[in-house]
Amino acid sequence: MKATWTHGRAARHPGAVCGADDGPGTGVTGESSLVTFPDCPDAAETELIPDDASTGDPHIMQPLREAATGDTRKIDGVVVDATTPSAILTVYDAATPKTQVKIASLPPTLMASLAWNILNAERVGAAR
């Protein structure tokens, strides 16, 4: 199977992305340097950032810790900001070792969803 590159929002966006007029498939190519989107000239550069970790990597928390301090990191093809890793690490550091292993084995998108759900539940519970 040959890897293809496309706009990061194309999978989640039902219509055209970045001003293109023919939908989410616009710009799909096997060569990342050929990805061109009218409003996103830097999309190809973002795709070229190597992954620092992937799902199931036993050391996935280290790139998340680095991302939480503001360093740019890409995990499982997703460039992470500083806020989301901070939320993940808050939940991870408060968990038991057995739960930490389970959290670390999740894909980063599920880690983030879990962390935000737990932190939101804590915030709502504290407001009562």
pLDDT of residue 53: 81
pLDDT of residue 41: 53
pLDDT of residue 34: 54
Domain that holds residue 28: 1-48
Mark whether 71 and 113 lie in a shared domain. yes
67 contacts: CB under 8 Å, gap ≥ 6: 73, 75, 80, 81, 82, 84, 85
Mark whether 78 and 116 lie in a shared domain. yes
Mark whether 115 and 70 lie in a shared domain. yes
Q: How many distinct structural domains can be found in the chain?
A: 2
Mark whether 106 and 65 lie in a shared domain. yes
Average pLDDT for runs of 10 along the chain of length 128: 51 52 51 53 64 81 89 81 90 94 90 92 71
Instruction: Report the predicted TM-score, pTM, of the whole model to 2 decimal places.
Output: 0.63
When the pLDDT of each residue in the chain is averaged and rounded to a whole number, the result is 74
Continuous segment of H or E residues that includes residue 125 = helix 108-127
42 contacts: CB under 8 Å, gap ≥ 6: none
Residue 2 DSSP label: -
pLDDT of residue 108: 86
Amino acid at 31: E
pLDDT of residue 3: 47
Mark whether 13 and 40 lie in a shared domain. yes
Mark whether 79 and 120 lie in a shared domain. yes
Mark whether 99 and 123 lie in a shared domain. yes
At which of 27, 48, 69 does a domain end? Answer: 48
Mark whether 109 and 81 lie in a shared domain. yes
pLDDT of residue 93: 95
Mark whether 32 and 2 lie in a shared domain. yes
Neighbours of 52 (CB within 10 A): 20
At which of 10, 27, 48 does a domain end? Answer: 48
56 falls within a domain: no
> Which pLDDT tens digit goes with each residue over 58-87?
788 888 998 888 887 888 877 888 888 999
